[in-house]
Amino acid sequence: MKAENKPIEVIIVGAGSRSMNYASYALKHPEQLKVVGVVDPNPLRRAHTAERYGLAEDMLFADVESLVARPRLADAAINGTLDAQHVSTSLPLLHKGYDLLLEKPIGIAEDEVLELHRTAHAYGRKVMICHVLRYAPFYVELKRELEAGTIGEILHIQTEENVDFHHMATAFVRGKFANKERGGSSFLMQKCCHDLDLITWFQSKVRPVKVSSYGGRSYFRDSRAPQGSGTRCLADCEIEENCVYSAKKLYVEQPLWPVYVWPRYLDGVRLSDEEKLESLRTDNPFGRCVWKCDNDIVDHQAVMLEFENGSTAVHNLVGGAAKACRTLHITGTKGEIYGVLEEGFFVVRHPHLREGGVYSEHRVNIPVSRDMHGGGDHRLVEDFVRVVRGDTSAQFSTSLEHSIVGHLVGFRADASMESGNSLHMDWNSLAKSN
């Protein structure tokens, strides 16, 4: 067990926005966490991270291979690399003796996720997945209600994630997650492995045994392009002025998603409006018409689950909504819970026959944090510190052991959607493969 009066020392692997957000916990709580190194192929990112955390030159690495060629230099690593790199960069870290905080999704395929699980188990490493919603106060309080038996035994769970139109257009039509070969993950696994994880967490005492899924790319395709649309918003489009997907409106006038849209934004480079417009007019991929991109992922998908006790769940993923939100409706034998994460409260209802009504309800208010993911990010890092220290009070809620269940559901859901068949989950076989 690491001494509690010393901070956990970590190395950032992949100095992108997510890992840097987790690592910033060290700036607020230096007595708990200390960043001592960084791995990133971009020299500007390495230099920026070194300046922010006061890192020595010999603690800056261009790749994981250079890091693991040295003796173990820290207690743990925060891995925020791209989806397709998660497993390939994590395996050598585990071999070298680093515990790991790994951004979701764990990996991009079932077999590599299982390989990571086997390796972590073989080397006795602590791996925690960044399913931050388990640490968001909204879901923590909701889980407490479920475990207290407030609504009885769960019969059905219905969840939905609505991805708003500008996020959909930016990340999943024009951006790096729009094409599975380029981005690695499906729409479901990139956006909703959180939600599938929550469903399996709510039902943590029983396992899902059957998965079906349906979906498709129905809207963001050439055949749906409005009359007058061009190939680029600012080059040859006749309807740009009235189009909600206008690159000028979204990325210059608003301006939204600068980390995605503007090259080297994370390196501190800032463009003038004139430079932005010229970039979108010419070679910037975010200046393309949303109906004429190289996207091949679905824009809507439904996942249906059956659990071993006969209970069921449905998750809906919808891209292109006016307002982004996560909703849920859980029905039990004694009542129900309904809520929307972004609204900061959920409602518990029970059947109640009385004069003037047939049910009673009470509202559970949850302060909505301005932090990402409902306030869960830094709560997760705080627990990771406890885990690495060997603190028995740590929740370790998103351990690899726990988090892998929702991932396997997601991979099977995508396979079901592609094949048109309902798929069974044989947990005995999966356990043997582990």
Whether 65 and 211 share a structural domain: no
382 within domain boundaries = no
154 with 312: CB under 8 angstroms? no
For 43-87, write each residue's pLDDT tens digit: 999 999 999 999 999 999 999 999 999 999 999 999 999 999 999
Residue 320: in which H helix or E strand, if any? strand 312-321
For 125-184, write each residue's pLDDT tens digit: 999 999 999 999 999 999 999 999 999 999 999 999 999 999 999 999 999 899 988 888
- The residues that bridge with 354 in the sheet, in sequence order, are 357
Domain final residue pick, 125, 155, 170: 125
Whether 255 and 347 share a structural domain: no
Whether 208 and 253 share a structural domain: no
Domain final residue pick, 125, 144, 177: 125
Average per-residue pLDDT for the chain: 94
Whether 365 and 322 share a structural domain: yes
Whether 54 and 27 share a structural domain: yes
Structure tokens at 213: 């899924």
Whether 208 and 299 share a structural domain: yes
383 within domain boundaries = no
388 within domain boundaries = no
State the sign of the Cα–Cα–Cα–Cα dihedral 72, 74, 76, 79: negative
322 within domain boundaries = yes
366 within domain boundaries = yes
Average pLDDT over residues 258-278: 92
Whether 171 and 299 share a structural domain: yes
Whether 400 and 412 share a structural domain: yes
Q: Which amino acid is at 434?
A: N
For 229-251, write each residue's pLDDT tens digit: 999 999 999 999 999 999 999 99
Residue 217's Cα: distance from chain center in Å?
21
Whether 13 and 96 share a structural domain: yes
Q: Give the Cα separation of 370 and 381 in Å (integer).
A: 17
Q: How far is CA 84 from CA 104, 121, 263, in A?
A: 11, 22, 20
Whether 97 and 205 share a structural domain: no
Radius of gyration of the chain, Cα coordinates, nearest whole angstrom: 23
What's the domain range around 356? Answer: 134-220+295-375+393-433
Residue 372 has pLDDT above 70, yes or no: no
Q: How many structural domains comprise the chain?
A: 3
What CATH number is attached to the domain comprising 32? 3.40.50.720
Whether 353 and 250 share a structural domain: no
3 within domain boundaries = no
Domain final residue pick, 106, 125, 144: 125
pTM score? 0.92
Whether 118 and 151 share a structural domain: no
